[in-house]
């Protein structure tokens, strides 16, 4: 097993969207964890925290600037608008990897337990290039959320999407792994499936996911469903294959129906069946609409990819005392 001799420089990357209520709490918590890890000689003293303000409409950026005054190893990156959680993560990783040997991404709501960061770094020092933070239990979730999440992971597996069950975006990645990730050219970003594609030596740490400390969830049901659909259609063409199979099945049923109709004609029983006609119309109409919608989603993704629009645009950054960090000139 590979053992690393160099004390790594750690970058903690937090995407934040309208998180002014909780941001100060998590930054204070992470600062203390960083100091403890430095004392244990697990990370270098110039390790840092990088917060990406994803176009917040509240005072998130002001909180970052205020915290910068009391934490010299804090870096703030402000995006020009709200690009979304996945793009904000990529923005933070693309900036953070200019400085860090390893990056750990986690949400700013304190639901990802930062106390397992130490275990992640230990596994990195033992040779892992990627360490996934995985929920050990969903006992605190509602029945609907727990079972819908289970159904989502089973569906992803069935459709050929390689994912880590009960893992969100709380993970450690080495500089090598991050650079490999940033080479992936797609604009339809779904990091939970993109990272396992990289390969490399991986490991897991398990933790109990806590409750949000303040503020409101940025992932209501509608957004979660959209996120799930994007994830599946970005990494699998299996839905189109299933539609083909469904089409073949319906065609077979129609063939049987044709033979049955001919048989009825031959024996003289030709009375029209209103119920069977209506069922056939609604069934075929519904299947056609579903098929067109699924194909439309894929066409839309092709439309997005060929435009090659940037995934994010950085408006400004805070000044940093960390070596080699060069803020952009406005």
CA 226 to centroid of chain Cα atoms: 12
Return the H-helix or E-strand segment holding 153. helix 143-158
- CB–CB of 52/142 below 8 Å? no
Greater model confidence, 79 or 143: 79
Reading the block at residue 35, the tokens are: 């100091």
Torsion, Cα of 253, 258, 262, 268 (10° steps): 80
Q: What per-residue confidence (pLDDT) applies to 180?
A: 92
List, in sequence order, every residue forming a beta bridge with 52; answer none if it has no partner. 15, 77
Q: Which residues of 116-150 are buried (b: 16+ CB within 10 A; e: fewer)?
A: bbbbbbebbbeebbbbbbbbeeeeeeeeeeeeebe
- Annotate 157-225 with DSSP letters as a single string: HHTT----TTEEEEEEEEHHHHHHHHT---SS--HHHHHHHT-S-EEEEEE------SS--S--HHHHH
What is the arithmetic mean of pLDDT over 129-158? Answer: 73
Greater model confidence, 36 or 227: 36
pTM above 0.85, yes or no: no
- For residue range 221-263, list pLDDT tens digits in order: 555 566 556 655 565 556 666 666 676 676 666 666 667 666 6
Dihedral class, residue 166 (left if φ above 0, else alpha if ψ from -120 to 50, else beta):
left
Greater model confidence, 35 or 283: 35
CB atoms within 10 A of CB 5: 5
- Annotate 43-63 with DSSP letters as a single string: S-TT-EEEEEE-S-SSSHHHH
d(CA 124, CA 120): 6
pLDDT, averaged across the chain: 78
Q: Please tell me whether residue 235 adopts helix, strand or coil conformation.
A: helix
């Amino acid at each position: 097993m590979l053992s690393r001799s160099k004390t790594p420089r750690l970058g903690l990357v937090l995407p934040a969207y309208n998180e002014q209520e909780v941001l100060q709490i998590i930054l204070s918590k992470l600062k203390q964890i960083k100091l403890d890890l430095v004392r244990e000689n697990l990370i270098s003293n110039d390790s840092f925290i990088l917060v990406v303000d994803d176009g917040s409409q509240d005072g998130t950026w002001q909180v970052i600037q205020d915290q910068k005054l009391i934490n010299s190893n804090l870096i703030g990156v402000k995006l020009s608008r709200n690009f979304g959680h996945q793009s904000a993560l990529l923005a933070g990783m693309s900036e953070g990897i200019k400085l860090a040997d390893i990056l750990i991404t986690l949400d700013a709501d304190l639901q990802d337990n930062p106390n397992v960061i130490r275990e992640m770094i230990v596994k990195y020092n033992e040779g892992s290039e990627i360490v996934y933070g995985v929920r050990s239990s969903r006992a605190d979730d509602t029945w609907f959320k727990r079972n819908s999440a289970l159904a989502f992971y089973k569906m992803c597996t069935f459709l050929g999407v390689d994912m880590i069950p009960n893992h969100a975006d709380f993970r450690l990645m080495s500089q090598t792994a991050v650079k490999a990730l940033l080479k992936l050219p797609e604009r339809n970003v779904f990091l939970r499936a993109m990272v396992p594609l990289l390969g490399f030596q991986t490991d897991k740490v398990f933790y109990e996911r806590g409750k949000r400390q303040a503020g409101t969830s940025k992932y209501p049901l509608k957004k979660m469903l959209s996120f799930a659909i994007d994830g599946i259609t970005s990494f699998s063409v299996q839905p189109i294959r299933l539609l083909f199979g469904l089409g073949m099945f319906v065609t077979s049923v129609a063939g049987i129906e044709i033979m049955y109709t001919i048989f009825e004609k031959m024996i003289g029983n030709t009375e029209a069946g209103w119920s069977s006609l209506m069922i056939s119309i609604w069934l075929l109409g519904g299947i056609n609409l579903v098929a067109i919608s699924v194909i439309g989603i894929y066409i839309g993704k092709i439309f997005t990819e060929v435009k090659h629009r940037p995934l994010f645009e950085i408006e400004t950054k805070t000044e940093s005392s960390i070596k080699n960090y060069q803020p952009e000139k406005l």
